[in-house]
Amino acid sequence: MTDSQHISVYREFCENRLVEILDGKGTRSLYFGGQYLQSRMALHAPHLLLLPYTHYMMFSLLLARKIERVLLIGLGAGSLVRFLHHHFPTCVIDAVDNSERIIKLAKGYFQLPTSHAIRVHCLDGNRFFEVAEPEIEYDMILLDAFDETGMATHIYAEPFIRSCATFLASGGLLISNLWSGGTRPAQDFDAELAPILPGGLLLPVPERGNVISIRSHHQPDWRRICRGKEQLLQLEKHYHIDFPQMVKVAMRHNLSIGQRLARLFSL
């Protein structure tokens, strides 16, 4: 991936895959397999989310009733951990990744915060649920377990999703980064979630291969999503995320024309 606009700061074969870290134009990026961008960080503001799919995962902020405890399956370079810890510093975050080397890179190269509120676990996701305290309930569970071959098959599977639902708070959200370009369509996987978590939204990320699934024990509250324009603009300014545009995408892909018109006229 190196070229005249990028400086290589790390490169090695790690666990049978090429892992590279490149700097360029004020950013630091993590690549797998020589071409697959996994994460990107702004060196001047590490808490900012730079990749579009992470913005759409944080669409869930419109629906979250509270954000006191979060579970992230798939740490990568830690973009979502940095973002959540910056905006919700007292939130307890459990970040799970089965690669000790990737965890070390996140800490050593991507400014993963050090805090009593952040607990990093070098475990397989299924093993984490086996050893987790059964009384724990998460307000958000974020699935972002990818490598250069696509979605981690043992994570994006019905048994694992049932474990997620067990540890999800009553008003909690399961947010999954799906890849529509894979051999398994995102919509098919999301349909398998419906019997487990009946309330849901699908958010295709414009001009990207990602589709974000947001699932819950309850149907989504569209009054929280379709807020007034000024409220959405304030959220956009605060989080540096284009909430007005994401609301349009959510309505277009999850509501009928009649439902959309009813929502627009109710604002």
Distance, C-alpha 173 to centroid of its chain: 11
Residue 69's identity, in one-letter code, is R
Q: Of residues 23 and 267, which shows the higher confidence score?
A: 23
Tell me the pLDDT band of 215, cut-offs 50, 70 and 90: very high
- What is the architecture of the domain spanning 52-220? 3-Layer(aba) Sandwich (3.40)
Tell me the pLDDT band of 181, cut-offs 50, 70 and 90: low
Decide if pLDDT at 261 tops 70. no
Q: How many CA atoms lie within 13 A of 245 on its CB side?
A: 11
Give residue 36's pLDDT. Answer: 82
Where do the structural domains in the chain lie, given as residue ranges? 7-42, 52-220, 225-267
CA distance 2 to 20: 9
Q: What is the pLDDT of residues 7-51, one digit of tens each?
A: 999 999 877 789 999 999 999 999 988 788 899 999 999 999 999
Give residue 43's pLDDT. Answer: 97
- Name, in order, each residue with C-beta under 8 angstroms of 124's C-beta and a sequence gap of 6 or more: 98, 154
Q: What is the pLDDT of residues 137-174, one digit of tens each?
A: 999 999 998 655 556 667 888 889 999 999 999 999 99
Give residue 179's pLDDT. Answer: 74
Decide if pLDDT at 3 tops 70. no
Structure tokens at 19: 């892992």
Q: Which of 151, 158, 139 is nearest to 60 (CA)?
A: 139
Tell me the average pLDDT across 236-248.
Answer: 97
Q: Is 123 exposed, middle or buried (0-12, 13-18, 19+ CB in 10 A)?
A: middle
